[in-house]
Amino acid sequence: MTDQVLSKSQYDDFRHFLEQSCGIVLGDNKHYLVTSRLNRLTQEFSFTNLGALLDALKKNNDGRLKERVIDAMTTNETSWFRDNYPFELMRENLLPDLARNKPSRLRIWSAACSTGQEPYSISMTVHEFQQKNPGMLTAPLEIVGTDISGTVLNIAKAAKYDELSIARGITEQRRSQYFTQVEGNRWQLIDKLRSPVRFTEINLLQSYTLLGRFDLIFCRNVLIYFSSDLKTDILTRMSQILNPGGYLILGGSESPTGYCRAFEMVRFPKGVVYRLKSS
Ligand X SMILES: C[S@@+](CC[C@H](N)C(=O)[O-])C[C@H]1O[C@@H](n2cnc3c(N)ncnc32)[C@H](O)[C@@H]1O
Query: Among 69, 204, 242, 248, which residue interacts with ligand X (rule: CB under 6 A)?
Result: 204
How many angstroms from the chain centroid is the CA of residue 168? 17
Contact region for ligand X (CB under 6 A) — 40-48, 86-94, 219-227, 238-246?
Answer: 219-227
Amino acid at 59: K
Contacts of ligand X in 68-107 (CB under 6 A): 74-78, 82
- Per CB under 6 A, the list member of 11, 15, 17, 23 interacting with ligand X is 23
Mask 249-268, x = binds ligand X (CB under 6 A)? --x-----------------
**CA terminus-to-terminus distance, the chain:** 61
Nearer to ligand X, 42 or 221 (CB): 221
CA–CA gap between residue 275 and residue 263 (Å, rounded): 5
203 binds ligand X (CB under 6 A): yes
Which of 114, 125, 165, 239 is the binder for ligand X (CB under 6 A)?
A: 114
Cα separation, 63 vs 138, whole angstroms: 42
β-pairing verdict for 186-189 and 160-162:
antiparallel
Q: How far is the CB of 55 from ligand X (least distance, A)?
A: 24
Q: Which residues pair with 217 in a beta bridge?
A: 109, 248
CA distances from 237 to 59, 100, 180, 207, 262 (A): 30, 26, 39, 8, 10
- Binders of ligand X among residues 221 to 240 (CB under 6 A) are 221-222
Residues that bind ligand X (CB under 6 A): 22-24, 74-78, 82, 112-114, 118, 147-149, 152, 203-205, 220-222, 251
